[in-house]
């Protein structure tokens, strides 16, 4: 059995290229999955060789392989290929990938390309480029197949055969009326299983899910996931079918949203454009991260004020200062963990805001267990670390250790409940729970932690 290109085959291709055997190379590459072909070509060939080999593929493969090239190589090819040839290749790309490429061109490059395109391709590209990238319209393709409902099954199959070039998704065939209004869909499997003489009408699924062209791409992804679809139709405000979003685009959306959630949770402002790490400039990285981190440092002024208001306490019992960071860190960690768990449970739909009592009660109980463990550990730690520390006559180290570790335990409970509660609160008011981010929670529980710490210390020790 043969799998995708392995090292041995790569070796052969490398030798063929070195020997100038471009025809044999093309013959060998043609059978491989296009994503592999693109990778091999990028790795082993000069740009000129890529151009030459590419022109030996048929136009359909040219379009597919080109789609899988890096942005830089794509631009090089665009600039060095005969524009007439390029427009043929371009016409054979998937409509969504084509529109994305077009949008990455400079204004004057776009104008250079447009006259070479056939009218339907030109209109398609301009149409698809008009939607914002985070909407259904921005990720949809127009490579779908349609039939009219008054056809017979045999006629429908014939229609699909006739106007389905290889890039078209035909596993779902959309049923429209003469004004392109979407009536329903039929699967290719339905067609195969049906008797050729039957009317399509009796097999059409008229209860189906669709996306609206301006719908958020994340909501589109959720629908595809919920109904286990291969593709979802996209309609415009006139109920006309304008595109489809397929399962592979949905996976891309889920990955991108995943990164966005992760970043938000760490107080990083997500990119609109899903840029690569290395393609993002230092200044862009800085901007993404500085907003929150600087804001939080500014809010940290409140913690500073609290510490200062207890300056006298600290002066009279220095040992308290030594354990401030421990209490703050432990609170930050347990608060962030609770927030993580709740943010994910909300994202996965395991819980919703209506469950808030259950969630907070569960977190409360979890935090009691954590508080006991961490409190005992802190008590032991203080005895171990501070047995030589100078303590004013009036106090015993056991008392102090007990008070500090009690404060830490209470802080663990408070921080956990706050960490779990903040994302729920943000969601309740319509926000994205992930913005109740880890640095934000650290900052908030720092404030509560210091208040708890010093209040307990002054009450029980001074």
Of 69, 210, 379, 454, the one binding a copy of itself by CB under 8 A: 210
| Binding status of residue 442 toward a copy of itself by CB under 8 A | yes
**What part of residues 112-131 is at the interface with a copy of itself (CB under 8 A)?**
none
Of 110, 316, 355, 458, the one binding a copy of itself by CB under 8 A: 355
Tokens of 329: 């860190």
Distance CA 388, CA 382 (A): 11
| Binding status of residue 71 toward a copy of itself by CB under 8 A | no
Site of tokens 């699909």: 160
| Binding status of residue 329 toward a copy of itself by CB under 8 A | yes
**What part of residues 292-321 is at the interface with a copy of itself (CB under 8 A)?**
293-294, 296-298, 300-301, 303-305, 307-308, 311, 314-315, 318, 321
Following DSSP, what letter does each residue of 121-159 receive, concatenated?
HHHHHHHHTTS-TTBHHHH-B--EEEEETTSBHHHHHHH
| Binding status of residue 238 toward a copy of itself by CB under 8 A | no
Cβ-proximal residues to 46 (8 Å cutoff; 6+ apart), any chain? none
Indicate the residue among 116 and 356 with the shorter CB distance to a copy of itself.
356
Distance CA 287, CA 338 (A): 28
Indicate the residue among 48 and 276 with the shorter CB distance to a copy of itself.
276
Distance CA 138, CA 445 (A): 40
**For helices 22-29 and 47-54, angle between their N-to-C axes, nearest 10 degrees:** 70
**What part of residues 22-41 is at the interface with a copy of itself (CB under 8 A)?**
31-33, 35
Contact range with a copy of itself by CB under 8 A, out of 53-61, 71-79, 100-108, 227-235:
227-235
**What part of residues 361-380 is at the interface with a copy of itself (CB under 8 A)?**
362, 365-366, 369-370, 373-374, 377-378
Of 7, 58, 248, 393, the one binding a copy of itself by CB under 8 A: 248
Tokens of 13: 């291709």
Contact range with a copy of itself by CB under 8 A, out of 114-122, 133-141, 278-286, 425-433:
278-286
CB distance 334 to 419 below 8 Å: yes
Planar angle of CA 80, 86, 91, nearest 5 degrees:
155
Indicate the residue among 84 and 348 with the shorter CB distance to a copy of itself.
348
DSSP3 helix / strand / coil % (the chain, rounded to 5): 65, 10, 25
| Binding status of residue 188 toward a copy of itself by CB under 8 A | yes
Tokens of 76: 């090089």
Q: Are strands 182-187 and 211-212 parallel, antiparallel or unpaired?
A: unpaired
Q: How far is the CB of 461 from a copy of itself (least distance, A)?
A: 17
Q: How far is the CB of 104 from a copy of itself (least distance, A)?
A: 17
Distance CA 193, CA 191 (A): 6
């Amino acid at each position: 059995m043969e799998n995708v290109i392995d090292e041995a085959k790569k070796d052969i291709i490398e030798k063929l290229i070195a020997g100038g055997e471009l025809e044999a190379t093309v013959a060998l590459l043609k059978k491989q999955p296009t994503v592999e072909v693109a990778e091999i070509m990028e790795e082993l060939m000069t740009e000129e060789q890529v151009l030459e080999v590419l022109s030996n593929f048929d136009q359909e493969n040219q379009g597919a392989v080109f789609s899988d090239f890096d942005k830089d190589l794509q631009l090089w090819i665009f600039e060095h290929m005969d524009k007439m040839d390029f427009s043929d290749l371009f016409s054979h790309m998937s409509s969504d990938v084509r529109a994305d490429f077009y949008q990455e061109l400079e204004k004057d490059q776009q104008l250079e390309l447009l006259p070479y395109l056939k009218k339907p391709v030109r209109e398609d590209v301009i149409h698809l480029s008009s939607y914002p990238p985070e909407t259904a319209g921005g990720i949809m393709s127009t490579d779908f197949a349609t039939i009219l409902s008054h056809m017979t099954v045999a006629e429908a199959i014939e229609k699909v055969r006739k106007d389905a070039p290889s890039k078209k998704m035909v596993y779902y065939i959309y049923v429209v009326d003469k004004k392109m209004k979407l009536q329903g869909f039929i699967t290719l499997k339905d067609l195969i299983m049906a008797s050729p003489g039957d009317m399509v009408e009796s097999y059409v699924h008229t209860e189906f899910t669709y996306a609206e062209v301006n719908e958020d791409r994340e909501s589109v992804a959720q629908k595809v996931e919920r109904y286990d679809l291969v593709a979802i139709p996209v309609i415009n405000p006139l109920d006309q079918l304008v595109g489809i979003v397929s399962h592979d685009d949905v996976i891309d959306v889920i990955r991108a949203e995943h990164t966005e959630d992760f970043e938000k949770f760490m107080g990083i402002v997500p990119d609109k454009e899903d840029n690569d790490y290395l393609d993002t400039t230092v200044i862009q990285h800085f901007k993404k991260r500085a907003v929150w981190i600087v804001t939080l440092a500014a809010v940290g002024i409140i913690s500073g004020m609290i510490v200062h208001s207890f300056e006298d306490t600290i002066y009279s019992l220095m040992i308290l200062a030594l354990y401030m960071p421990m209490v703050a860190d432990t609170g930050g960690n347990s608060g962030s963990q609770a927030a993580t768990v709740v943010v994910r449970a909300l994202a996965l739909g395991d819980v919703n805001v209506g469950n808030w009592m259950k969630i907070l009660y569960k977190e409360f109980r979890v935090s009691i267990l954590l508080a006991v463990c961490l409190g005992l550990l802190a008590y032991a730690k203080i005895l171990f670390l501070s047995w030589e520390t100078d303590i004013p006559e009036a106090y015993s180290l056991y008392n102090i250790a007990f008070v500090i570790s009690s404060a830490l335990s209470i802080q663990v409970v408070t921080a956990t409940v706050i960490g779990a509660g903040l994302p729920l609160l943000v969601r309740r008011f319509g926000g994205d729970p992930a913005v109740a981010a880890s640095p934000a929670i650290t900052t908030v529980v720092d404030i509560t932690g210091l208040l708890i710490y010093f209040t307990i210390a002054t009450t029980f020790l001074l």
